[in-house]
Amino acid sequence: MENKLEKKYGLFTAICMVVGIVVGSGVFFKAQVILQKTGGDMPLGVLAWLIGGAIMIVCILAFSAMAQKYEKVNGIVDYAEAIVGKRYGYYIGWFLSTTYYPTLTSALAWLSARYTLVFVTSVDPDFPLIVPAEAGGCIIGPECLALMLFYMVCAYAVNALSPKLAGKFQVATTVIKFIPLALMAVVGIIFGLANGMLTNNFTTPAVGYEVTGSPLFAAVCATAFAYEGWIIATSINAELKDSKRNLPKALLIGGLIIVATYILYYIGVAGGATNQELCDSGATAAFINVFGPVLGNILNLFIAISCMGTMNGLMLGCCRGPYSLAARGEGPHPELFSQVDKVSNLPNNSAILGLFYCAAWGLYFYLSNLAGTWSHAVAFVGTPFESVIFFFDPTELPIITIYALYIPIFINWMKKATDESALRRYVIPTLAICGSVFMVIACLIGHKMGNFWYLLTFAVIMLIGKRFAKNNA
């Protein structure tokens, strides 16, 4: 076996990976969440999408400059190692492989299963489910769990057996998922302007949704999930042709496409249904109003395919996470997880460990966030924390952590990039730091005590990672 990955991806595939990894379920179901958090205030929702998109773009610009100088095994780990130090690079790699990639992958596997069942039950209302659809069977039923596991294993199999096929699947699903987004963005805006719905929604909030705390912070926090994932595309820099030139282009072009698509789609949805309908029923109501019940229900199929494409891109990062550490002689058993299969040209042992991490986080996500098994569990009996439920959202909190971990990279880049222009050395990183701090603050305000339990879990995972650090081996 050769411990070297081949250059197999081009610029177009890289752009599709950036767009395909980011544009998934988030734009579909977070649009409803953002409306609810802002009390149906459409202008405030658009502002939240703009802020989230601006933060993503400035971070992309900062990392694009780094991508033109450093290329090794895994983009962000390479940058952290070169700019901050090997220890910091290791801990970022450990966090990505054990927490960041697998939490998002398991959540997308569930969303793929959920929207598949929603589509099936919309086509055939009598489709037998152990837990009826109206009782939440499409969300927490055993069929949903089984389909979630099936999709997760399928994503692993495609990436493990044929990385080139995984790349082609990413391109195909990226094209497919843009069909409903483009249709609603264009037709929805025209439809809304013609019947006055769009104007009305921008001036009339929904009722019945109490806004507490800071709605803008909460809404921006929700956009974090919809915008996240682009950094995973840097994990293929060792497999990207002319990476130093193509990766920055892919990140920037993909990022601009994503922001424009999200905002136009969000406005288009507002042209198809009232704020009240959107808060209560989500984007499905707008699609049914604009395109009729048949095409409206097909939306759920497009969402399922969209989620599968995003999950495929996330699994790509999961498969390469342990390898990015092992290739540096770090992490558990580097000699085992640094092996690259000579036929598939994928680190299969690394991919197996990545699948295990996905399964572990999928178990927590299902039991805590979906089934509610731990919804009333408490800990620290006899202390002030006894009344705090052991619960945190693994789809949003790891995203906020990665923004916090970006900050030392940006600061050290400003210190060391002496050969860069003032714009690339100071202005862009400073804006990226401000955006990252904003995301952290939004998380602290939006998730309240969920931050405590997540950070406690994060600390334990980092301590385990310390055990496998090279200087402790």
pLDDT at site 72: 65
Rounded mean pLDDT, 68-86: 80
| 432: pLDDT strictly greater than 90 | yes
| 4: pLDDT strictly greater than 70 | no
Two structure tokens written together for 63: 């990392």
Beta bridge partners of 9: 240
Structure confidence by residue, pLDDT tens digits, 182-236 = 888 899 999 999 988 888 888 877 666 666 667 888 788 778 778 877 777 776 6
pLDDT at site 381: 64
**Sorting pLDDT into bands at 50, 70 and 90, what band is 358?**
very high
Q: Is the dihedral of CA 381, 384, 389, 395 positive or negative?
A: negative
Q: What share of the chain is helix, strand, coil (3-state, %, to 5)?
A: 75, 0, 25
| 32: pLDDT strictly greater than 60 | yes
**455/14 Cα distance (integer angstroms):** 33
Contact between 159 and 315 (Cβ < 8 Å): yes
Q: Is the dihedral of CA 437, 439, 442, 448 positive or negative?
A: negative
pLDDT at site 472: 46
Structure confidence by residue, pLDDT tens digits, 84-109 = 999 999 999 999 999 998 998 998 89
Task: Give how far Cα 60 sits from Cα of 220, 233, 254, 440, Å.
Answer: 18, 11, 10, 17
Cα torsion 337, 366, 363, 315 to 10°: value is: -10
**Sorting pLDDT into bands at 50, 70 and 90, what band is 2?**
very low
* Phi, psi (rounded to 5 degrees) for 240: -100, 130
pLDDT at site 54: 92
Considering the entire predicted model, what is its pTM?
A: 0.81
pLDDT at site 308: 87
Distant-in-sequence, close-in-space partners of 316: CB < 8 Å, separation ≥ 6: 17, 159, 163, 166, 170, 232, 235, 236
Structure confidence by residue, pLDDT tens digits, 108-122 = 899 889 889 988 888
**264/219 Cα distance (integer angstroms):** 17
**295/169 Cα distance (integer angstroms):** 24
pLDDT at site 3: 47
